[in-house]
């Protein structure tokens, strides 16, 4: 066998032009080559690690996302969970209907819903919300107003299941964070710290430094929700009215398109519904049902043009997966489910959008009217 | 676990390097490397680890059986066929069963029968195409008596699972690694470390600073495949050709660098493919380890180019068809492979007729244009999307309006692509760079490495991971 192998190797090497099995393999540097490999390696590693450490140090110091809690500068990230928790604390009586959702829900007018349902309404939507934020908000509101028999309108995005990380905004909310399990908080906190190892975080740090030069506001990140801090949040309230309605109009079509294109990429980024948001959705439904409450869950729409772009790179598959998952959950939990991902499903128009996902008032009103019609006594 | 992730660069790699160079007895070192590689693989999904163990065991046992049956040719053939069947069955089930059923459903729908088969929803185990081909080449080489069987199961398991090439690296043959596994490098020299850091840094820079920067632009263009004019169509095609090259050659460089850091030497996988002067030349420079695998285990056994002109052409088409299918279970890959086969035939015929142009620059341009155009089919989500981009490139959808060029392409992307085109045409590749280990180069490369690592944030997988 050995002789045969050697002979065959020689024959094949002759036919393929490769005489050495390692031909075409990288050769390490010749020890006689000009220069010093040792100094080369040491300089390379020192430069790389030194630069990375310097960037990390600046980001930890500035703490642009409020991840570490250094509190030297105001965080550049809107603190919607803290703000909404502060607004909820200011409510004198329990709302009869609470709106949950992401930025897509922020322009839902409690006054309009009141006209539709007769209920007093609070908008508890927070930007980039996932079921984790909703779970914490549901519990926070329930603990403030136990046994109030609240109706819940939960506007859910297909994108709410794209990550297993809890946002620093939620982790930074002393009122809401304790509702999330300690392990999940620690894991997300660690991921948040790792995120500071990036140019993007450095850019945000520099923005925070620049912004701090123009602002006299004290930093709002930190653990303690003191009375003074609540007053600051209310005064500053990031554009929210006392009923939780978002008063500003700061949407940008191109920015929105880029955000969602980057979220799905070429179909390799958002490949499945993540488990953490699913877990918190199920926990929230279980607790609501236990309290005798059954929410109305509505899948939110996006502009048809964005939907057309994202459908082949994962949106259509995730939408199918989510709808199927919610149908499965209906066997275990009580809730109403409406799929309004298509603007036509509730009589909306493509023109009724500020940007690819945020709807203008007429479209929102059409959607809310359709929900009120179809949800029956659930609202 | 991705090479371009913090957990790999700052946790897994340092721990493995310290362990590997600290342990002295060779069997213990190999056991440590194999265990580390299994951990690396299981980080993605441990449920598929038994599959790799099964593949490893099948081919190891087959190799031993082939040696034991040295004088019994019929039974050796039975062993070979059994081992290849096991490998191909595994690959066929996990990679192609869904495609086959979907295609049958498609035919059923066309005939008005609906979709008679349920969706299988089989998850593709990462790297299965690579390690199956590595394993098959081992058994075939032993059958051909071109390689000795592995000294032990541990040696063979270390070869199959070695993490630098496991997921999407070179399709290694056992003959190239056998001697290195038998005589492990005893200590990490500064020369090895310098070479390893050089290749690893170049690979990270290629992947993170170039391929990942191009990716969102290319994704945006392909997502709007039905809105492209000739300029945006070509930008999409050329942009993707560059993204794919820097992505995959970046991975290959990283694999070579990691191998150096462990004291191994891996073969070259890319040799400036966009400098190719014809399509045959391209396949000698692009994903060389796969090209050579297909040549030695498919094209030559089919008869190669020694059985007459028409059989040669048939063999080319069959090889490229299967090469296309290897990349993925989709009609886009089948068509991509077949069209490459057609290009190889066209070049073969033109060359025999003496009709190939004598100008290198023209040949390079034609070859690159063809390759970039066919990569559109490779990249597109389906043939319809590919058709849209190709028709835009052909000018069938007209010239883009200045506003569309501004929105979809933009000056920075156009300048970036032009610079990268100049780079891939003029600059030496990683293997051609004569590394002078001076501190000033260490400083420059260290800065580039830091720039790359600090973009990791949300790491994107390598394109070839999905194959």
Check whether residue B235 and residue B100 sit in a common domain.
Answer: no
Residues in chain A with CB shorter than 8 Å from the CB of B219 are 261, 265-266, 313
Q: Are A267 and B381 in contact (CB under 8 A)?
A: yes
Please report which confidence band the pLDDT of residue B384 belongs to, taking 50, 70 and 90 as the band edges. Answer: very high
pLDDT tens figures, B61-106: 999 999 999 888 999 999 999 999 999 999 888 888 877 877 777 7
The pLDDT score that the predictor gives to residue B115 is 66
Q: Could you give the CA distance from residue B326 to residue B342 in angstroms, rounded to a whole number? A: 18
Answer yes or no: do B223 and A44 touch at CB < 8 A.
no
CB atoms within 10 A of CB A310: 25
- Residue B297 within a domain: no
Q: Report the domain count for chain A.
A: 1
Q: Could you give the CA distance from residue B312 to residue A127 in angstroms, rounded to a whole number? A: 62
Check pLDDT > 70 for residue A119: yes
Higher confidence at residue B244 or residue B103?
A: B244
The token pair at A118 is 């007769």
Please report which confidence band the pLDDT of residue A10 belongs to, taking 50, 70 and 90 as the band edges. Answer: low
Q: Are A180 and A132 in contact (CB under 8 A)?
A: yes
The pLDDT score that the predictor gives to residue A224 is 42
- Residue B389 within a domain: yes
Backbone angles phi, psi at A256, to 5 degrees: -65, -45
Residue B442 near chain A (CB below 8 Å): yes
- Residue B430 within a domain: yes
For the ranges A28-42, B108-122, B415-429, the lowest mean pLDDT is seen at B108-122
Check whether residue B236 and residue B138 sit in a common domain.
Answer: no
- Residue B330 within a domain: no
Beta-carbon pairs below 8 A across chains A and B? 187
Q: Are B133 and B255 in contact (CB under 8 A)?
A: no
- Residue A289 within a domain: yes
Check pLDDT > 80 for residue B445: yes
Answer yes or no: do A268 and B223 touch at CB < 8 A.
no
The pLDDT score that the predictor gives to residue B310 is 86
Q: Which residues are CB-contacts of A290 (< 8 A; sequence separation ≥ 6)?
A: none
Q: Are B284 and B291 in contact (CB under 8 A)?
A: yes
Residues in chain B with CB shorter than 8 Å from the CB of A255 are none
The token pair at A373 is 């019609």
Check whether residue B18 and residue B120 sit in a common domain.
Answer: yes
Residue A14 near chain B (CB below 8 Å): no
Helices (H) and strands (E) in chain B, counts: 22, 0
Query: B421: domain range?
Result: 191-278+356-466
Q: Quick one: DSSP state of residue A97?
A: E
Query: A125: domain range?
Result: 78-181+222-378
Q: Could you give the CA distance from residue B332 to residue B446 in angstroms, rounded to a whole number? A: 40
- Residue B296 within a domain: no
Mean pLDDT of A18-26: 47
- Residue B166 within a domain: yes
The pLDDT score that the predictor gives to residue B304 is 87
Identify the closest residue of chain A to B456 by CA–CA distance: A198
Question: Of all residues in chain A, what percent carry a pLDDT higher than 90?
Answer: 58
- Residue B119 within a domain: yes
pLDDT tens figures, A64-102: 877 787 777 766 567 899 899 999 999 999 999 999 999
Q: Could you give the CA distance from residue A251 to residue A376 in angstroms, rounded to a whole number? A: 33
Check whether residue B449 and residue B369 sit in a common domain.
Answer: yes
Catalytic residues of B: 327
Higher confidence at residue A76 or residue A168?
A: A168
pLDDT tens figures, A213-272: 665 444 444 444 444 544 555 445 568 888 999 988 888 888 888 889 888 876 777 889
CB atoms within 10 A of CB B387: 16
Q: Could you give the CA distance from residue A86 to residue A246 in angstroms, rounded to a whole number? A: 15
Question: What is this structure's pTM?
Answer: 0.79
CB atoms within 10 A of CB A182: 9
Report the mean per-residue pLDDT for chain B.
Answer: 90
Instruction: Estimate the share of chain A in helix, then strand, then coil, as percent rounded to the nearest 5.
Output: 55, 5, 40
Mean pLDDT of B427-453: 92
The pLDDT score that the predictor gives to residue A215 is 53
Q: Provide ipTM, 2 decimals.
A: 0.87
Check whether residue B41 and residue B178 sit in a common domain.
Answer: yes
- Residue B295 within a domain: no
Distance from CA of B267 to the nearest CA of A (A): 4
The pLDDT score that the predictor gives to residue B301 is 92
- Which residues of chain B from 262 to 281 reach within 8 Å of chain A, CB to CB? 265-268
CATH number of domain containing A100:
3.40.50.1110
Q: Report the domain count for chain B.
A: 2
Question: Of all residues in chain A, what percent carry a pLDDT higher than 70?
Answer: 83
CB atoms within 10 A of CB B415: 10
C-alpha of A219 from chain center: 23
Check whether residue B132 and residue B234 sit in a common domain.
Answer: no
User: Among B132, B162, B184, where does a domain finish?
Assistant: B184
Check whether residue B204 and residue B66 sit in a common domain.
Answer: no
pLDDT tens figures, A289-331: 999 999 999 999 999 999 988 888 889 999 999 999 999 999 9
Check pLDDT > 60 for residue A357: yes
User: Among B184, B204, B236, where does a domain finish?
Assistant: B184
- Residue A167 within a domain: yes
Residue B67 near chain A (CB below 8 Å): yes
Mean pLDDT of B419-423: 96
Check whether residue B199 and residue B150 sit in a common domain.
Answer: no
Residue B71 near chain A (CB below 8 Å): no
User: Among B165, B184, B203, where does a domain finish?
Assistant: B184
The pLDDT score that the predictor gives to residue A236 is 52
Check pLDDT > 80 for residue B23: yes
For the ranges A237-241, A275-279, B202-206, B436-440, the lowest mean pLDDT is seen at A237-241
Check whether residue B360 and residue B255 sit in a common domain.
Answer: yes
The token pair at B98 is 């869904």
Check whether residue B75 and residue B25 sit in a common domain.
Answer: yes
Q: Could you give the CA distance from residue B425 to residue A80 in angstroms, rounded to a whole number? A: 51
For the ranges A118-122, B254-258, B282-286, B429-433, the lowest mean pLDDT is seen at B429-433
Check whether residue B257 and residue B380 sit in a common domain.
Answer: yes
Mean pLDDT of B93-122: 76
pLDDT tens figures, A272-285: 999 999 999 999 99
Report the mean per-residue pLDDT for chain A.
Answer: 85
Check whether residue B175 and residue B101 sit in a common domain.
Answer: yes
């Amino acid at each position: 066998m050995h002789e045969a192998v050697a002979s065959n190797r020689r024959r094949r090497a002759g036919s393929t032009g490769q005489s050495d099995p390692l031909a075409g393999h990288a050769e390490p540097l010749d020890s006689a080559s000009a220069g010093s490999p040792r100094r080369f390696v040491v300089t390379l590693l020192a430069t790389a690690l030194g630069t990375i450490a310097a960037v990390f140090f600046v980001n930890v110091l500035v703490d642009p996302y409020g991840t570490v809690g250094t509190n030297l500068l105001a965080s550049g990230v809107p603190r919607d969970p803290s703000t909404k928790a502060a607004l909820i604390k200011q409510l004198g009586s329990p709302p009869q209907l609470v709106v949950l959702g992401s930025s897509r829900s922020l322009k839902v007018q409690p006054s309009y819903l009141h006209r539709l349902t007769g209920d007093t309404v609070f908008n508890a939507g927070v930007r980039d919300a996932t079921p984790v934020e909703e779970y914490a908000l549901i519990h926070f509101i329930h603990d403030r107003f136990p046994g109030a028999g609240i109706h819940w309108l939960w506007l859910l995005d297909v994108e709410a299941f794209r990550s297993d990380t809890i946002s620093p905004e939620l982790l930074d909310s002393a009122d809401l964070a304790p509702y999330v399990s300690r392990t999940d908080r620690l894991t997300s906190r660690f991921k948040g710290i790792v995120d500071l190892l990036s140019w993007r975080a450095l850019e945000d740090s520099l923005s925070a430094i620049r912004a701090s030069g123009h602002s006299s506001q004290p930093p709002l990140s930190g653990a303690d929700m003191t009375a003074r801090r609540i007053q600051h949040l209310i005064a500053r309230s990031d554009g929210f009215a006392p009923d939780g309605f978002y008063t500003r109009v700061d949407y940008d079509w191109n920015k929105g398109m880029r955000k969602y294109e980057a979220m799905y990429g070429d179909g390799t980024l958002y490949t499945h519904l993540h488990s953490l948001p699913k877990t918190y959705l199920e926990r929230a439904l279980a607790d609501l049902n236990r309290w005798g409450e059954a929410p109305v869950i509505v899948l939110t729409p996006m502009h048809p043009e964005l939907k057309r772009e994202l459908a082949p790179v994962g949106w259509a598959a995730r939408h199918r997966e989510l709808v199927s998952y919610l149908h499965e959950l209906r066997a275990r939990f009580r809730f109403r489910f409406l799929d309004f991902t298509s603007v036509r499903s509730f009589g909306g128009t493509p023109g009724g959008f500020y940007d690819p996902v945020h709807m203008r008032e007429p479209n929102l009103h059409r959607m809310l009217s359709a929900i009120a019609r179809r949800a029956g006594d659930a609202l | 676990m991705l090479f371009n992730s913090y957990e790999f660069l700052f946790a897994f790699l340092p721990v493995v390097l310290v362990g590997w160079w600290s342990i002295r007895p060779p069997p213990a070192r190999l056991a440590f490397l194999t265990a580390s590689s299994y951990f690396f693989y299981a980080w993605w999904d441990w449920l598929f680890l038994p599959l790799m163990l099964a593949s490893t065991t099948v081919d190891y046992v087959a190799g031993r059986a082939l040696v034991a049956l040295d004088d019994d040719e019929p039974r050796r053939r039975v062993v070979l066929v059994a081992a290849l069947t096991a490998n191909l069955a595994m690959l066929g089930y996990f990679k192609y069963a869904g495609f086959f059923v979907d295609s049958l459903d498609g035919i059923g729908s066309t005939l008005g029968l609906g979709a008679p088969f349920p969706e299988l929803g089989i998850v593709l185990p990462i790297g299965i195409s690579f390690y199956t081909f590595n394993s098959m080449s081992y058994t075939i080489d032993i059958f051909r008596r071109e390689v000795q069987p592995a000294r032990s199961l541990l040696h063979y398991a270390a070869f199959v699972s070695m993490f630098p090439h496991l997921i999407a690296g070179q399709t290694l043959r056992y003959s190239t690694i056998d001697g290195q596994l038998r005589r492990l490098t005893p200590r990490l020299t500064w020369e090895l470390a310098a070479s390893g850091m050089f290749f690893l840094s170049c690979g990270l820079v290629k992947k993170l600073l170039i391929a990942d920067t191009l990716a969102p632009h290319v994704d945006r263009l392909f997502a709007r495949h039905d809105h492209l004019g000739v300029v945006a169509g070509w930008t999409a095609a050329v942009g993707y050709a560059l993204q794919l090259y820097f992505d995959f050659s970046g991975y290959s460089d990283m694999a070579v660098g990691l191998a150096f850091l462990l004291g191994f030497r891996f073969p070259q996988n890319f040799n400036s493919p966009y400098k190719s002067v014809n399509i045959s030349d391209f396949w000698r420079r692009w994903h060389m380890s796969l090209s050579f695998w297909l040549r030695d285990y498919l094209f030559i056994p089919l008869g190669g180019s020694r059985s007459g002109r028409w059989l040669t052409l048939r063999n080319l088409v069959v090889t490229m068809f299967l090469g296309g299918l290897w990349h993925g279970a989709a009609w886009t890959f089948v068509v991509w492979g077949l069209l490459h086969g057609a290009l190889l035939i066209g070049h073969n015929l033109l060359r025999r007729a003496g009709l190939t142009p004598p100008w290198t620059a023209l040949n390079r341009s034609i070859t690159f244009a063809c390759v970039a155009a066919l990569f559109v089919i490779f990249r597109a989500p389906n043939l319809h999307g590919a058709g849209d981009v190709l028709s835009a490139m052909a000018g069938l959808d007209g010239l883009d309006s200045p506003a569309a060029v501004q929105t979809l392409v933009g000056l920075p992307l156009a300048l970036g692509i032009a610079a990268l085109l100049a780079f891939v045409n003029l600059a030496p590749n990683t293997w051609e760079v004569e590394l002078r280990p001076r501190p000033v180069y260490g400083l420059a490369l260290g800065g580039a490495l830091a720039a790359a690592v600090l973009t990791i944030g949300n790491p994107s997988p390598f394109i070839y991971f999905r194959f």
